């Protein structure tokens, strides 16, 4: 971001704010019309498998196929004016007005002018001359919600961490800004980003697909592996505190915000709940997501996200392009995503 990065750094990122065209699918109006690509970083050579913000939002770690972990410093700045096109020709001076209304962070609407390039003009013309007039079209579908501030990243990484011998698959931050990384080299590494050094290595017998620090006690973390086992590790003693064999390849693992529950997902689409109150894996129950796919690869659980402050409500993503909302053992809702080809 031009207003949030050091211009003395080499220009390896895209800083211009470009509007991205949004189209609705299966709905009568657009719920999201104002999408802008504000920055693109040339970060890695090869696929990026994981990105993760630090808990205080100051850093973003990214890693993947090239085995390097980059830590990017987040910088916040005022960007509202640029996104809204301040300085554009107004109606009073004879210019054409934008059909968009900006809603500021405080919720008050502001009439805004957006700079239109040729692609934008075509899009606006389509909006002005719709093929089919619909009385159900929401007036609010053309509103832009613009934040007071936006964030970006420095062009160069804060640090780069080298040491893994194969693809990095997952990342996790502690409250004290230590970073865990798991890899296809069958290890988990603990990093100090201030010195860019690896402090400890935790060996496994197969690819380590998922890791997470205990959100309450940084001295413990959970790991899942293709060896079909989920483990709780003691960081200080570098030993396994407890483990459980799921008899299925583990592809996702996550603590609840209070650290009292762990949810573990498998390649076959099953989700298991464990009580971790005593830093042990005590089996509680299994959630049936009813993933009706013939290929086992499409059933794979890919990630979890608990609702803030809740040990019951959780989002579950899977390889069948669905996001499921679960409350306890009950499936509450299911969202359909873009299909894989």
Cβ proximity of 110 and 85 under 8 Å: no
Asked whether 69 and 181 are in contact (CB, 8 A), the reply is: yes
pLDDT tens sequence across 88-135: 333 333 433 333 333 433 444 443 334 434 444 443 344 444 444 444
The full set of domain ranges for the chain reads 48-77+146-297
Residue 329 vs residue 339, higher pLDDT: 329
What pLDDT score was predicted for residue 328? Answer: 82
The alpha helices in the chain, defined as continuous H runs, are 80-84, 118-128
Q: Which pLDDT does position 296 carry in this prediction?
A: 65
- Residue 198: predicted pLDDT: 97
The span from the CA of 72 to the CA of 268, in Å, is 35
Q: Report which DSSP code applies to 108.
A: -
**220-225 and 229-234 strand pairing:** antiparallel
Residue 324's beta-bridge partner residues?
Answer: 316, 334
What value does the CA radius of gyration of the chain take, rounded to a whole number of Å?
23
- Mean pLDDT across 162-173: 97
Q: Which residue has the higher pLDDT, 291 or 234?
A: 234
Report the mean per-residue pLDDT for the chain. 79
- Output DSSP code: residue 175: T
Q: How far is CA 52 from CA 31, 171, 214, in A?
A: 27, 6, 15
Q: Which residue has the higher pLDDT, 214 or 289?
A: 214
Cβ(297)–Cβ(249) under 8 Å? no
The token duo for 51 is: 């990105």
Non-local (6+) Cβ contacts of 337 within 8 A are 321, 322, 323
Classify 48-77+146-297 by CATH class.
mainly beta
């Amino acid at each position: 971001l031009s207003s949030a990065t050091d211009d003395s750094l080499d220009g390896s990122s895209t800083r211009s704010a470009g509007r991205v065209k949004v189209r609705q699918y299966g709905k009568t109006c657009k719920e999201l019309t104002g999408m802008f690509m504000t920055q693109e970083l040339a970060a890695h050579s090869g696929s990026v498998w994981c990105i993760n913000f630090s808990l205080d939002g100051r850093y973003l770690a990214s890693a993947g196929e090239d085995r390097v972990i980059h830590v990017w410093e987040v910088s916040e700045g005022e960007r509202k004016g640029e996104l809204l096109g301040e300085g554009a020709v107004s109606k009073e001076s004879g210019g054409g007005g934008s059909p968009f209304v900006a809603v500021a962070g405080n919720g008050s609407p502001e009439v805004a002018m957006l700079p239109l390039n040729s692609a934008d003009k075509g899009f606006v013309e389509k909006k002005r001359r719709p093929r089919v007039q619909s009385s159900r079209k929401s007036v609010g579908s053309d509103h832009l919600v613009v934040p007071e501030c936006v964030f970006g990243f420095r062009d160069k990484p804060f640090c780069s961490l080298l040491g893994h011998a194969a693809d990095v698959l997952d990342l996790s931050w502690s409250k004290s800004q230590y970073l865990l990384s798991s890899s296809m080299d069958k290890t988990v590494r603990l990093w100090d980003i201030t010195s860019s050094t690896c402090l400890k290595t935790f060996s496994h017998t197969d690819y380590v697909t998922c890791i997470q620090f205990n959100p309450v006690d940084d001295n413990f973390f959970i790991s899942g592996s293709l060896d079909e086992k989920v483990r709780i590790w003691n960081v200080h003693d570098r030993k396994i505190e407890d483990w459980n064999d799921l008899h299925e390849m583990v592809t996702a693992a996550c603590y609840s915000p209070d650290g009292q529950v762990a949810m573990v997902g498998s390649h076959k689409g099953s989700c298991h709940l464990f009580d971790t109150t005593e830093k042990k894996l005590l089996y509680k129950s299994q959630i049936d997501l009813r993933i009706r796919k013939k290929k086992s690869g499409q059933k794979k659980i890919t990630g979890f996200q608990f609702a803030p402050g809740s040990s019951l409500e959780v989002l579950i993503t899977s390889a069948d392009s669905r996001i499921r909302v679960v409350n306890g053992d009950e499936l509450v809702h299911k969202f359909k995503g873009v299909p894989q080809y």
